[in-house]
């Protein structure tokens, strides 16, 4: 499979800070790829390295098979959508979108046609004469997308573009971004600290921690088969069973992850536990349990949890296949 972006032993240091530390990474052509991680994990720096806004301290980055170490940002076949949109407030929507073509001195008729086509694609027909201040957050985000796409980049970089939107609008934009990427067939590289965003859109994702890729894989792989405790705890809500707890249950291993939805309340069999607290979540109930002095979270349906009270003694069970053994973090 052809690679759109490739990192080979890439590091980026800011004085004594290793923002990116010896990263190997391949992003396939035409895929929706997410970089996921907490603040300071290196994901945004990697995006800036692809864009050319930063230069690696060591290692090599290739875009579409060509090394880009000495290629300035404006000559790379990539474009970036920023979290704050970075629209020109004094220009109309159409002028913002067509700006890159104007700089290239493209004929006005072609600029108008291309702009109208892109505004149609992002569902902003008839908004060309408005100013950014007259638009909602979601509409400004679509303008920023159209402006980034008008130069026909092979790779579109998105730097937490949904962070300023409210929950409902963010979910709508997630669907729209994925649909747009499928329609265009170009590579999207999406940076986020929100695992829900990454999981809902990405074909594959890299989980970053302390400048390194902690795990690379599909959303399903990373959710159900985390490599270490960091990935298990960062991606969704997961119980990390310690070596001591595993040993007390007769299981050998360093640590294991167990998703809350895989824990069942069993009135007769299973492992003894004490209910610390419970939270009503509508159709489900979240239980905080204590087993051998360690806390676990269970997510059960409303019927299972409605009659339980704090300090109740319960028994819990799970399928052996739900327990995923992990290794120490590198």
The answer regarding whether domain 232-326 maps to CATH 2.40.50.140 reads yes
Output the pLDDT for position 6.
Answer: 97
pLDDT in tens, 37-76: 999 999 999 999 999 999 999 999 999 999 998 899 989 9
What's the predicted TM-score (pTM) here? 0.84
> At 28, which helix (H) or strand (E)?
strand 17-28
DSSP 123: T
Question: How much helix, strand and coil, in percent to the nearest 5, is found in the chain?
Answer: 30, 30, 35
pLDDT in tens, 88-109: 999 999 999 999 888 888 899 9
pLDDT band, very low/low/confident/very high, at 301 (cuts 50, 70, 90) = confident
CA dihedral sign of residues 243, 245, 250, 256:
negative
Output the pLDDT for position 24.
Answer: 97
pLDDT band, very low/low/confident/very high, at 1 (cuts 50, 70, 90) = low
Output the pLDDT for position 282.
Answer: 86
Terminal C-alpha separation, the chain: 29
Report the percent of the chain where pLDDT is more than 90. Answer: 52
Q: Which of 113-117, 166-170, 274-278 is least confident?
A: 166-170
Query: What is the rounded distance in angstroms from the CA atom of residue 76 to the CA atom of residue 60?
Result: 15
pLDDT in tens, 175-225: 888 988 998 899 999 999 888 889 999 999 999 999 999 999 999 999 888
Kindly report the CATH class assigned to 3-231.
Answer: alpha beta
CB 6 within 8 A of CB 187: no
Query: What is the rounded distance in angstroms from the CA atom of residue 298 to the CA atom of residue 144?
Result: 41
Give the start-to-end residue ranges of the domains of the chain.
3-231, 232-326
What mean pLDDT value characterizes the chain? 90
């Amino acid at each position: 499979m052809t690679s759109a972006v490739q990192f080979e032993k890439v590091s980026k240091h800011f004085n004594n800070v290793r923002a990116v530390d010896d990263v190997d990474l391949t992003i396939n052509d035409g895929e929706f790829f997410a970089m996921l991680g907490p603040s300071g994990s290196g994901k945004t720096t990697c995006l800036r390295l692809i864009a050319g806004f930063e230069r690696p301290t060591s290692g090599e980055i290739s875009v579409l098979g060509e090394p880009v170490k000495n290629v300035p940002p404006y000559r790379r076949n990539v474009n970036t959508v920023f979290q704050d949109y970075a629209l020109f407030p004094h220009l109309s929507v159409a002028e913002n979108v067509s700006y890159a073509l104007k700089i290239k001195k493209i004929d006005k008729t072609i600029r108008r046609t291309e702009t109208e086509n892109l505004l149609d694609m992002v569902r902003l027909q008839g908004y060309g004469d408005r100013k950014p201040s007259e638009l909602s957050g979601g509409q400004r985000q679509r303008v920023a997308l159209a402006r980034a796409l008008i130069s026909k980049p092979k790779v579109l970089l998105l730097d937490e573009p949904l962070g300023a939107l409210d929950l409902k609008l963010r979910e709508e934009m997630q669907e729209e971004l994925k649909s747009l990427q499928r329609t265009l067939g170009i590579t999207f590289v999406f940076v986020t600290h929100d695992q829900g965003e990454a999981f809902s859109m990405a074909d594959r994702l890299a989980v970053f921690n302390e400048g390194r890729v902690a795990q690379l894989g599909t959303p399903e792989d990373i959710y159900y088969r985390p490599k270490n405790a960091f990935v298990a705890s960062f991606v969704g809500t997961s119980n990390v069973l310690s070596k001591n707890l595993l040993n007390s249950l007769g299981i050998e291993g360093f640590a294991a992850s167990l998703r809350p939805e895989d824990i069942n309340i069993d009135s007769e069999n299973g492992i003894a536990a004490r209910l610390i607290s419970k939270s009503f979540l509508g159709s489900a109930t979240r239980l905080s349990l204590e087993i051998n002095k360690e806390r676990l979270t269970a997510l059960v349906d409303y019927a299972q949890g409605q009659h339980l009270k704090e300090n109740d003694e319960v028994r819990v069970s799970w399928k052996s296949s739900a327990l995923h053994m992990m290794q120490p973090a590198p």
